[in-house]
């Protein structure tokens, strides 16, 4: 066959293969266009999971009649000036409308502010229909019918109405979070309706929009993030460690207002929470990155959901650092839902109490209970500073600092130092006890079932899971010891030679100093190979090949060596778990109080290493309510 130029329609259908994967991609492109047109209201209507109909109506500035034909012509855009490095709109490729028009029946009806009537153009499977007058308010309505009728192969890949509808709803939510001042509505033929009234662009307005999308309990169970590094600004909210999900779908990320699904960001979030969440739980996050458009490439894929940062290490470091800092600053804080759920379980006459059937079990608590059950400790707002009893006080420091001590000894030291440091108060008997009542976790009163410390503050009852709490304290101490000085390493009898692509070998060599600090002695071994001479003692017999390859991958992706640090932390966590006060151990009053004080002084001690709360707080007011006294 001779070489021929593809027809315009063929070219558009090929582009559609990339841009328009499923109905939700159409919704995404049309909503982005509405926002680029400055809309304050965006209305989406679909039927048949978007395969029969998608209609997006906006009140934006519209398209003048004379430009309608250009809007559906390939490579025509009003958004890109001369500089591909300076993209400030959501669209810029000028290929969404012609692509959609090549695989469906598309019509655009639009009216600008300066025109006294609207006009409409259509395109069906790539065939352009003549422009005709129409009636409409200012703004644009784009209607897409029979998506993929012109490309039946693609149609076969659709997952069914339910799945497509939910993908549409997800994309609308995802975009809406970045545009709190815009009102969004979504109506489908099934029950996927969504109504997101406009808020405002203050921090509070933005959080209210997030709550509309993520649920009203998110704000109470999240902490604000606001950090800046080398011109990159990170804002948003992340859930506290006891408020998690089974998958990462509730992690929303934005780069300059554009929703993205980015491996680097997802990895950074995982890294930041690695310490406080079990492997199979995921934080709920909304993160906005804003940076100079010149140092991020959004033109990686036609769907524009991928980005590439010029300095990935900077972005990762910023995210991990900011989240960890925020978690530490938030101190010990358990999820409000925990306390609220418990109140519901206790409440006499609540549905779950009266009818233990499956029907409406945990729906019984209401907003009032949620709010009043909030067990928030905020060291910034709290008038009561944590008491100054540090976990890494005398006993621990002494042993931990011993030169060349193996890790097992540190573990033992941490264990010994744990509950035995004494607080100088006997509850209920002295002035000191009165002071303890003012502490965040109060004065210990009793130990019950050999694992729960019951404590009292001025206005609440605290129950601490002593094993979970101590496990966390030991872990934090081990980690501090681990990262405060070089990690002990063991020499391998024979160096392990690992063949790698030359770039990987080079990358590892560049990071060899950091790796050495973590106990991994690695050096170049001729072209395309490295030699490992030492490994961290903690890792014991380890698969060196796999570890080094993982590290090489991570450096290639993110320019960091977090993998090794995370592995070491994980081992510290396991050791902490085994070295901690088992449930079943009887504690003296001083020991209990010492544990409470250490918790107050230790960042992150509101949850155990597996993300479960270490304590719960019941407000006196709630207890009185339980007994009908209020």
- Pick what 93 binds: Mg ion, ligand ADP, none; C-beta below 5 to 8 Å, kind-dependent: ligand ADP
* Listed residue (580, 363, 339) closest to 470, CA to CA: 580
Q: What is the dihedral of CA 319, 324, 326, 331, to 10 degrees?
A: 170
Which of Mg ion, ligand ADP, none is residue 239 near (CB under 5 to 8 Å by kind)?
A: none
Binding span for ligand ADP by CB under 6 A among 76-84, 143-151, 354-362, 382-390: 76-84
Number of residues that bind Mg ion (CB under 5 A): 3
| Residue of minimal Cβ distance to ligand ADP | 91
Nearer to ligand ADP, 35 or 599 (CB): 35
Find all residues with CB under 8 Å of 368, minimum gap 6, and list them: none
The H or E element spanning position 569 is helix 562-579
* Residues 406-425, mask of contacts with ligand ADP (x by CB under 6 A): --------------------
Q: Which of 40, 52, 78, 166 binds ligand ADP (CB under 6 A)?
A: 78
336, interface contact from Mg ion, ligand ADP, none, CB < 5-8 Å by kind: none
For residue 94, state whether it binds ligand ADP (rule: CB under 6 A).
yes
**Residue 71 binding target from ligand ADP, Mg ion, none, CB below 5 to 8 Å by type:** ligand ADP
Select 69 or 266, whichever has its Cβ closest to ligand ADP: 69
The structure tokens listed for 182 are 């815009």
The residue among 48 and 62 lying less far from Mg ion, judged by its C-beta, is 62
Long-range pairs of 7-14 with CB within 8 A, sequence gap ≥ 24: 8/74, 8/126, 9/102, 9/125, 9/126, 9/127, 11/74, 12/74, 12/95, 12/98, 12/99, 12/101, 12/102, 12/126, 13/99, 13/102, 13/103, 13/126, 13/150, 13/151
167 binds, among ligand ADP, Mg ion, none (CB under 5 to 8 A by kind): none
Sole binder of ligand ADP in the list 49, 91, 188, 419 (CB under 6 A)? 91
**Shortest distance (Å) from residue 20 CB to ligand ADP:** 11
The residue within the footprint of ligand ADP, chosen from 97, 186, 340, 481 (CB under 6 A), is 97
Q: What stretch of H or E contains 168?
A: helix 161-178
Sole binder of ligand ADP in the list 27, 44, 53, 71 (CB under 6 A): 71
Residue 176 vs 210, nearer CB to Mg ion: 176
Look-up of token digits 């010492």: 594
Window 8-67: residues binding ligand ADP (CB under 6 A): 29, 33-34, 37, 58, 60, 62-63
- Which DSSP category does 299 fall into? T
**Binding window for ligand ADP (CB under 6 A); candidates: 73-81, 121-129, 220-228, 548-556:** 73-81
- Residues 131-170 binding ligand ADP (CB under 6 A) are 140
Binding-site residue total for ligand ADP (CB under 6 A)? 20
For residue 138, give the nearest of 121, 122, 116, 120 by alpha carbon: 116
On the 0-12 / 13-18 / 19+ scale of CB atoms within 10 A, 385 is exposed
63 binds, among Mg ion, ligand ADP, none (CB under 5 to 8 A by kind): ligand ADP
Window 204-243: contact mask with ligand ADP (x via CB under 6 A): ----------------------------------------
Shortest distance in whole angstroms from residue 509 CB to ligand ADP: 43
Nearer to Mg ion by Cβ, of 33 and 558: the residue is 33
Written in H, E and C, the secondary structure of 173-209 is HHHHHHCCCCEEEEECCCCCCEEECCCCCCHHHHHHH
Scanning 26-34, 177-185, 271-279, 379-387 for contacts with Mg ion by CB under 5 A, the matching segment is 26-34
Secondary structure (3-state) at 44: strand
First to last CA, the chain: 88
DSSP 62-97: ---GGGHHHHTSTT--SS--S-TT---SS--SS-HH
Using only C-alpha atoms, the chain has a radius of gyration, in whole angstroms, of 29
Give the tokens for residue 480. 């501090």
Collapse the DSSP code of 397 into the 3-class scheme (helix H, G, I; strand E, B; otherwise coil) and give the result. Answer: helix
d(CA 385, CA 83): 53
Sequence-ordered list of residues with C-beta below 8 angstroms from that of 58, at least 6 positions apart, any chain: 33, 34, 37, 39, 41, 42, 43, 139, 140, 141
Listed ranges 88-96, 203-211, 232-240, 356-364: which one lies at the site for ligand ADP (CB under 6 A): 88-96
Q: How far is the CB of 304 from ligand ADP (least distance, A)?
A: 9
Whose Cβ is closer to Mg ion: residue 304's or residue 333's? 304
User: Coil, strand, or helix at residue 53?
Assistant: strand
Positions in 300-339 near ligand ADP (CB under 6 A): none
Interface characters, 90-129, with Mg ion (x: CB under 5 A) = -x----x---------------------------------
Q: How far is the CB of 53 from Mg ion (least distance, A)?
A: 20
| Residues lying near ligand ADP in the complex (CB under 6 A) | 29, 33-34, 37, 58, 60, 62-63, 71, 77-79, 91-97, 140
| Residues lying near Mg ion in the complex (CB under 5 A) | 33, 91, 96
């Amino acid at each position: 066959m001779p070489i021929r130029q593809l027809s315009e329609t063929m070219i558009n259908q090929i582009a559609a293969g990339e841009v328009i994967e499923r109905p939700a991609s159409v919704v995404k492109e049309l909503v982005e266009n509405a926002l680029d047109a400055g809309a304050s209201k965006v209305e989406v209507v679909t039927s048949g999971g978007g395969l029969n109909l998608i209609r997006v109506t906006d009140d934006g500035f519209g398209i003048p009649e004379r430009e309608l034909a250009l809007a559906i012509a390939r490579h025509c855009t009003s958004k890109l000036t001369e500089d591909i490095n300076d993209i400030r709109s959501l669209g810029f490729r000028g290929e969404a409308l012609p692509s959609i028009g090549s695989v469906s029946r598309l019509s655009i009806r639009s009216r600008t502010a300066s025109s006294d009537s609207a006009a409409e153009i259509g395109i069906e499977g790539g065939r352009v229909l003549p422009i005709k007058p129409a009636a409409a308010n200012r703004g644009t309505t784009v209607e897409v019918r029979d998506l993929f009728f012109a490309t039946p192969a693609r149609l076969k890949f659709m997952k069914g109405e339910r799945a497509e509808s939910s993908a549409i709803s997800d994309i609308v939510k995802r975009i809406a979070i970045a545009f709190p001042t815009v009102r969004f509505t979504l109506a489908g033929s099934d029950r996927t309706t969504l109504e997101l009234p406009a808020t405002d662009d203050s921090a509070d307005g933005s959080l209210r929009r997030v709550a509309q999308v993520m649920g009203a309990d998110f704000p109470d169970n999240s902490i604000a993030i606001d950090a800046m590094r080398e011109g990159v600004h990170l804002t948003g909210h992340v859930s506290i460690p006891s408020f998690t999900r089974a998958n990462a779908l509730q992690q929303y990320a934005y780069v300059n207002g554009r929703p993205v699904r980015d491996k680097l960001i997802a990895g950074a979030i995982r890294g930041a929470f690695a310490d406080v969440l079990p492997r199979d739980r995921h934080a709920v996050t909304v993160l906005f990155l804003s940076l100079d458009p010149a140092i991020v490439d959004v033109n990686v894929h036609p769907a524009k959901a991928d980005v590439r940062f010029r300095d990935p290490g900077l972005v990762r470091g910023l995210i991990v650092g900011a989240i960890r800092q925020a978690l530490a600053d938030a101190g010990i804080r358990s999820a409000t839902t925990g306390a609220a759920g418990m109140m519901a379980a206790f409440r006499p006459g609540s549905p779950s109490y009266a009818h233990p059937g499956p029907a409406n079990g945990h729906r019984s608590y209401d907003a009032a209970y949620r709010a009043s059950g909030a067990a928030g400790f905020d060291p910034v707002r709290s008038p009561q500073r944590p008491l100054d009893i540090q976990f890494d006080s005398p006993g621990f420091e002494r042993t931990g600092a011993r030169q060349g001590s193996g890790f097992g000894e540190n573990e033992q030291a941490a264990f010994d130092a744990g509950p035995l440091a004494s607080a100088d108060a006997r509850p209920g008997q002295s002035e000191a006890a009165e002071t303890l009542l003012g502490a965040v976790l109060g004065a210990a009163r009793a130990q019950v079932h050999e694992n729960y410390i019951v404590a009292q503050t001025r206005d609440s009852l605290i129950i601490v899971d002593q094993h979970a709490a101590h496990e966390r304290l030991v872990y934090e101490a081990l980690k501090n010891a681990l990262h405060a000085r070089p990690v002990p390493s063991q020499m391998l009898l024979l160096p392990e030679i690992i063949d790698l692509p030359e770039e990987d070998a080079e990358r590892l060599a560049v990071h060899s100093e950091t790796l050495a600090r973590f106990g991994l002695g690695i050096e170049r071994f001729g072209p395309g190979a490295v030699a490992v001479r030492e490994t961290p003692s903690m890792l014991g017999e380890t698969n060196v090949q796999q570890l080094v390859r993982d590290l090489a991958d991570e450096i290639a992706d993110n320019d960091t060596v977090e993998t090794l640090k995370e592995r070491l932390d994980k081992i510290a966590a396991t050791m902490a778990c085994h070295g901690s006060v088992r449930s079943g151990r009887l504690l003296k009053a001083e020991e209990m109080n010492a544990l409470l004080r250490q918790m107050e002084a230790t960042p992150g001690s509101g949850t155990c290493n597996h993300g479960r709360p270490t304590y719960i707080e019941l407000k006196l007011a709630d207890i009185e309510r339980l007994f009908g006294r209020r």
